Amino acid sequence: MIGITGANGFIGRAVLRRIGADACVAHVGPIDGEAGAIDICDQPALEALFAGIGTIIHLAGPSSVAASFDAPAAFARAHVLGTATLLAAAERIGVRRFVHVSSAEVYGRPDTACVSESAPLLPLSPYGAAKAAAEQLVSGAVRRGALGSAIIVRPFSVYGPGMRANGLVGRLAAQARLRQPMRVFSADTTRDYVHVDDLARGLLMAAARDEPGLLTLNIASGIGTDVAALAATFARIGGGSDALIVEEQGDRSRALDIAHLVADVSLARETLGWRAEITLADGVRDCLGEMA
C-alpha cells in the first residue's frame, strides 16, 4: 500500500485515480466526503496514519509561485517543516521508499537550453527555495540511513483537468471555450508542459522502484513550448479567436519570471523507462473537454 500526502491536490487526485483504493492518504485540506485533514507538521498523527505503510509519495503543500511572495513563511512551514516532520515520522515507522515531489522551480534561471538533474539549484521564488530546502532534507535522510530509498521528482509545467483556473493554461482554456482573444502576460516565455496523468504514471513508477540510495529525476516532455504557440494551440483546437493580446503586469513575481525552462528527461527514460505519452494537442483537448 502507498501513503500519499497532498492527496486532494491537483497531482494527488491524478495519482489516486490510478491506484483507486490501494492508498492511505494524508492531506492538508479535506477530501470530498471527509470531514477533516491531518496537519503535515503533526508527527504523531502522521505516524498513526501511515503505520504499516512501506512507500510514501509526498505531494503536500501549496504550489503557487506568485502566492509564495506574499506568504513565504507559510510556504516554508508547509514544504520545509512539513517535509522534516514527515521524514521523522517515516523513519520512526520504518517506511522503506520515499518519493518526494519537488519542482523545476528549484533551478531558477538555468544557463542551458535543456536543464539536467545535475544543474545547480538557484531558486528565485520563496516556493522554489522552500522546495530546494526540502530536497536537502530528503538527501540528508538517505545519507544518514533514515531512509533506505528515495526518489526526488522535479516536475516541470504540469497541466490537465483539475488544474487551477487562474494559471496560464487554465486561463487559456477558459478564453478558448468562450471564443475570446488569447490574453497573456508574455508571448515568448518557454516552458516544458507535462500532462498530469503522465506525471502520475511517473510517480507510481518511481514508487515501485526498489533500488537503495537517492535518485533525482526530471519529469517533463523534454519539449519547449512558448506562450504564443500554446495560445495558438488552444485557439485552434477550441475553434476560437487566434488573436494574441500581450498585457503588462508589473508585480514582483512577474519581474522574476523565468524566460526558458525545458528539461533533459533522459535520466527518467534510462532509470524508470518513463516518457511522456500525451501530446500537447491531446492534452489541450483534454483540458477543453473538461470545460464542455
Cα R_g (the chain), whole angstroms: 19
Strands 2-5 and 55-58: parallel
Q: Hey, how many other C-beta atoms are within 10 angstroms of the C-beta on 137?
A: 19
206: CB partners within 8 A, 6+ apart: 99, 151, 153, 217, 272
Q: Name, in order, each residue with C-beta under 8 angstroms of 99's C-beta and a sequence gap of 6 or more.
A: 55, 56, 57, 58, 150, 151, 153, 203, 206, 207
The answer to whether 28 and 39 are in contact (CB under 8 A) is yes
d(CA 47, CA 58): 14
Euclidean distance between CA atoms 105 and 182, whole angstroms: 25
Examine the residue annotation and report whether 193 is marked as an active-site residue of this protein.
no
Are the C-beta atoms of 3 and 49 separated by less than 8 Å? yes
Marked catalytic residue, from 107, 127, 159, 193: 127
| Residue whose C-alpha cell is 497573456 | 184
Residues marked as catalytic: 127
